[in-house]
């Protein structure tokens, strides 16, 4: 109790220096929690959007279809007639994919041509825009990223060149009927969506698909030659990507922790040099060197606790505001190449907040304990005079 | 040890380890101090005055020989026992005051009483008594940085006497003070010695202090060169 009282007096007595230390600690607490909340928010948002716009309940893929190798998709398609009933019920949504070349404004670009039924009901995706009937012209739906890449606008026409299942080249004119704003790059970048039936006719791949999207909760009893990828497996890739992206964030996290350490390093470790005379005086007044060590450790720990308390006061309004209103990162997130909206809504979980506080406080205690050994080895008679002379080994 | 003997020092030698074997700060010292003395250890710098005071104050240990303070052998005290002895029975006054800069005058004086775990009321009464002794009650809320050198040393004296110790060790208490302040604090300490019977041992080479001493022990090169018991 006495040590608490003395530590409190020392902190209070140091006035502005103490306040600044506590303020720095609290800002670091808030920043760490905020940053972690942001990553959590990005991950949740990215996975939620991906599920809503691309994954649904999971995918049944042709075994030759590899989303990481889209150079040649000619072998990656098969008939879904055995699953026709599920397709008719919209429990499954077939998607056919082929490689194509497009010629917007006379320039050639590669693209993925994807066919989807305009009346699909599994995804939050404007496929209904493909219902537009146009004589000979293929209605095309693209995302904003693709529109930027192709430098085309709504209503623009361009040539599509593709090969059918025999390898014969063919070409037709397509017109942009809708440009969707989506944050999921897997349905946007490099892709042109057209009606499934039309693509099947163009390629001679009647009733064939590259993969089928499943309604949440639906599973084929006999998937035959379709390989099932669950929602979790598909989302796992984005979580992995987030973890890769957040390794950069980890660096920032470590910097913040280092700053927290530094703020008490100044008070605690440098105290050995700055407060030598005080240490000697405390010993002369009747404290043992162990008690002085404990006092210093306690002082550092109290800095951490007070920092945490101030962090709660400062952090609650900041975190509440950002949780409700989100943080608008604008085009920054787009350049981050992640399936996330420019407005990020951080998510703060009690476990994450508690873990952050425990980790920082633990490190603060460890750092605060560093002076203990030095203090114990100070020769009190020299410390009183402000000299820095340590006991030699074996000296009492 | 006779009942009135507060301190006995018997063939005391202190060696500080150095790279070349060791430095002998005190050599075969034999002394006794009676309760109520107003004594001083005098001598040039490096003669061993402060070392002797540190050993009497249980802040240091003899290398050879024995030192007994208030009936306790300094050689045999654990660090905890030594700290308790200092806390209960010994007051220190330093040349550089050694006030705790983040504490107020009141808190500095109160500090030894906190270690003694006295009640708040008792502490307040004792602190105010001590501050009245040194005539600084009106500055109890000041910080050390707001005080003059003389005032700071008076606070240090108040801190040393607040627990009414049997022994006060004063290491060059006037070295940083002008003549007026030196006489003022000497007057306070003499008064305490006379009225409270507190034993004072100084380490000094200040003539003003030497003149007021009732006993002067001269140290030269770590040895007792003279002991003026006649004045005691």
pLDDT of A197 strictly over 80: yes
Residues 6+ apart with CB under 8 A from B64: B11, B12, B13, B15
Residue A46 belongs to a domain: yes
Domain encompassing residue B109: 5-231
Q: Which residues of chain B are within 8 Å of residue A12 when distances are taken between CB atoms? A: 102
Cβ(B208)–Cβ(B186) under 8 Å? yes
Q: Which residues of chain A are within 8 Å of residue B94 when distances are taken between CB atoms? A: 281, 284, 384
| A173 shares a domain with A78 | yes
Provide the pLDDT for residue B3: 53
| A82 shares a domain with A28 | no
The number of residues making up chain A comes to 396
- Name which residue leads in pLDDT, A216 or A330: A216
How far, CA to CA in Å, does A120 sit from each of A91, A93, A126, A214?
Answer: 10, 7, 9, 11
| A198 shares a domain with A67 | yes
- Write down the residue that tokens 């190798």 correspond to: A69
Kindly report, residue by residue over A115-160, the tens digit of the pLDDT.
999 999 899 989 999 987 777 899 999 999 899 989 999 999 999 9
- Name which residue leads in pLDDT, A241 or A106: A106
Which pLDDT tens digits describe chain B residue by residue (232 residues)?
Answer: 555 688 999 999 999 887 777 888 999 999 999 999 999 999 988 899 999 999 999 999 899 999 999 999 999 999 899 999 999 999 999 888 889 988 999 999 999 999 999 999 999 999 999 999 888 999 999 999 999 988 999 999 999 999 999 999 999 888 887 888 888 889 988 998 998 899 999 999 888 889 899 999 999 999 999 998 744 4
Out of A285, A291, A396, whose CB is closest to B112?
A285
Cα(B52)–Cα(B68) distance, rounded to whole angstroms?
12
Residue A230 belongs to a domain: no
| A286 shares a domain with A353 | yes
Cα(A193)–Cα(A116) distance, rounded to whole angstroms?
7
Q: Which residues of chain B are within 8 Å of residue A13 when distances are taken between CB atoms? A: 100-104, 107
Phi-psi region of B65 (alpha: psi -120 to 50; beta: other; left: phi over 0): left
Alpha carbon of A277: minimum distance to chain B alpha carbons (Å): 7
Interchain pair B83, A381: CB under 8 A: no
**A148-157 long-range Cβ contacts below 8 angstroms, 24+ apart:** A149/A109, A149/A189, A149/A190, A150/A102, A150/A104, A150/A109, A151/A104, A151/A105, A152/A104, A152/A105, A152/A176, A153/A179, A154/A178, A154/A179, A156/A104
Residues 6+ apart with CB under 8 A from A150: A102, A104, A109, A142, A158
Q: How much of chain B is helix, strand and coil, in % rounded to 5?
A: 40, 30, 30
| A183 shares a domain with A125 | yes
Residue A168 belongs to a domain: yes
Residue A38 belongs to a domain: yes
Provide the pLDDT for residue A337: 55
Alpha carbon of A2: minimum distance to chain B alpha carbons (Å): 7
Interchain pair A2, B61: CB under 8 A: no
| A272 shares a domain with A245 | yes
How far, CA to CA in Å, does A115 sit from each of A2, A65, A189, A331?
Answer: 76, 15, 15, 30
- Name which residue leads in pLDDT, A332 or B141: B141
SS3 (DSSP) at A265: helix
Q: Which residues of chain B are within 8 Å of residue A381 when distances are taken between CB atoms? A: 50-51, 54, 59-60
Residue A183 belongs to a domain: yes
Residue A250 belongs to a domain: yes
Alpha carbon of B230: minimum distance to chain A alpha carbons (Å): 32
pLDDT of A388 strictly over 60: no
Kindly report, residue by residue over A258-277, the tens digit of the pLDDT.
777 776 676 666 766 777 88
Alpha carbon of B123: minimum distance to chain A alpha carbons (Å): 14
Alpha carbon of B4: minimum distance to chain A alpha carbons (Å): 24
Provide the pLDDT for residue A248: 64
Cα(A103)–Cα(A110) distance, rounded to whole angstroms?
9
Residues A58-67 have a mean pLDDT of: 92
Of A179, A194, A225, which residue sits at a domain end? A225
| A130 shares a domain with A193 | yes
Q: What is the count of structural domains for chain A?
A: 2
pLDDT of A240 strictly over 80: no
SS3 (DSSP) at A338: coil
Residue A159 belongs to a domain: yes
Choose the mutation target among B48, B59, B81 for the interface with A, i.e. most A CBs under 10 Å.
B59
Alpha carbons within 13 angstroms on the beta-carbon side of residue A98 total 29
Of A203, A225, A247, which residue sits at a domain end? A225
Chain A residues contacting B, CB < 8 Å? 2, 5-6, 9-10, 12-15, 277-278, 280-281, 283-291, 380-381, 384-386, 392, 395-396
- Mean pLDDT across chain A, nearest whole number? 84
Give buried/exposed letters for B116-134 (b at 16+ CB in 10 A, else e): bebeeeebeebbbebbebb
Cβ(B88)–Cβ(A286) under 8 Å? yes
Burial class (CB in 10 A: 0-12, 13-18, 19+), A91: buried
Residue A57 belongs to a domain: no
| A363 shares a domain with A299 | yes
Cα(B118)–Cα(B114) distance, rounded to whole angstroms?
6
| A203 shares a domain with A79 | yes
Provide the pLDDT for residue A331: 63
Out of B79, B111, B112, whose CB is closest to A288?
B79
pLDDT-based confidence at residue A368 (cuts at 50, 70, 90): confident
Extended strands (E) in B134-193: 167-171
SS3 (DSSP) at B153: helix
Kindly report, residue by residue over B34-79, the tens digit of the pLDDT.
999 999 999 988 899 999 999 999 999 899 999 999 999 999 999 8
Of A196, A225, A254, which residue sits at a domain end? A225
Residues A355-382 have a mean pLDDT of: 78
Domain encompassing residue A165: 63-225
Residue B60 sits in a domain whose CATH number is: 3.40.50.300
- Write down the residue that tokens 């808030």 correspond to: A30
Q: What is the count of structural domains for chain B?
A: 1
């Amino acid at each position: 109790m006495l040590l608490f009282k003395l530590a409190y007096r020392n902190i209070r007595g140091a006035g502005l220096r103490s306040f600044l230390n506590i303020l720095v600690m609290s800002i670091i607490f808030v920043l760490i929690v905020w940053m972690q909340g942001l990553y959590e928010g990005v991950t949740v948002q990215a996975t939620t959007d991906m599920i809503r716009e691309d994954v649904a309940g999971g995918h049944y893929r042709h075994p030759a279809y590899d989303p990481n190798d889209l150079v040649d998709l000619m072998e990656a398609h098969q008939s879904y007639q055995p699953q026709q009933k599920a397709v008719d019920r919209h429990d499954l949504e077939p998607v056919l994919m082929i490689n194509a070349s497009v010629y917007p404004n006379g320039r050639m670009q590669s693209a993925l041509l994807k066919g989807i039924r305009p009346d699909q009901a599994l995804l939050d995706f404007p496929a209904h825009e493909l219902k537009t009937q146009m004589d000979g012209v293929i209605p095309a739906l693209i995302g904003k990223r693709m529109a930027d890449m192709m430098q085309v606008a709504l209503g623009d026409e361009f040539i599509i060149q593709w090969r059918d299942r025999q390898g014969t080249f063919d070409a037709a004119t397509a017109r942009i009927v809708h440009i969707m704003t989506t944050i999921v790059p897997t349905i946007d970048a490099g892709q042109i969506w057209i009606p499934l039936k039309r693509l099947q006719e163009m390629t001679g791949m009647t009733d064939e698909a590259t993969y089928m999207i499943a309604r949440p909760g639906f599973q084929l009893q006999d998937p035959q030659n379709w390989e099932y990828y669950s929602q979790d497996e598909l989302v796992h890739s984005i979580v992995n990507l987030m973890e890769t992206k957040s390794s950069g964030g980890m660096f920032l996290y470590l910097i913040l922790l280092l700053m927290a350490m530094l703020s008490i390093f100044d008070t605690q470790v440098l105290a050995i040099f700055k407060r030598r005379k005080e240490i000697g005086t405390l010993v002369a007044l009747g404290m043992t060197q162990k008690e002085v060590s404990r006092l210093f450790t306690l002082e550092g720990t109290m800095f951490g606790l007070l920092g945490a308390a101030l962090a709660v006061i400062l952090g609650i309004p900041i975190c509440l505001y950002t949780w409700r209103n989100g943080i608008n990162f604008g085009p920054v997130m787009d350049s981050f190449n992640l399936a996330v909206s420019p407005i990020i809504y951080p998510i703060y979980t009690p476990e994450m907040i508690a873990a952050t506080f425990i980790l920082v406080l633990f490190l603060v205690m460890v750092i605060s304990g560093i002076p203990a050994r030095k203090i114990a080895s100070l020769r009190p008679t020299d410390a009183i005079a402000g000299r820095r002379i340590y006991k030699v080994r074996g000296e009492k | 040890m006779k009942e009135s003997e507060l301190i006995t020092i018997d063939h005391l030698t202190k060696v500080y380890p150095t790279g070349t074997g060791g430095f002998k700060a005190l050599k075969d010292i034999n002394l006794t101090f009676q309760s109520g003395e107003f004594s001083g250890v005098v001598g040039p710098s490096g003669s061993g005055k402060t070392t002797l005071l540190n050993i009497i104050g249980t802040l240091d240990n003899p290398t050879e020989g024995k030192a007994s303070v208030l009936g306790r052998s300094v050689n045999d005290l654990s660090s905890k026992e030594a700290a308790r002895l200092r806390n209960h029975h010994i007051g220190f006054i330093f040349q550089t005051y050694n006030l705790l800069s983040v504490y107020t005058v009141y808190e500095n004086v109160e500090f030894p009483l906190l270690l003694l775990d006295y009640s708040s009321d008792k502490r307040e009464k004792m602190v105010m008594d001590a501050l009245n002794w040194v005539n600084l009650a009106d500055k109890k809320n000041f910080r050390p940085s707001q005080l003059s050198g003389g005032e700071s040393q008076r606070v240090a004296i108040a801190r040393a006497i607040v627990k009414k110790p049997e022994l006060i060790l004063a290491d060059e208490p006037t070295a940083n003070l002008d003549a007026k302040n030196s006489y003022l604090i000497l007057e306070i300490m003499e008064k305490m010695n006379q009225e409270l019977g507190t034993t004072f041992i100084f380490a000094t080479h200040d003539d003003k202090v030497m003149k007021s001493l009732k006993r002067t022990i001269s140290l030269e090169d770590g040895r007792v060169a003279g002991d003026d018991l006649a004045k005691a």
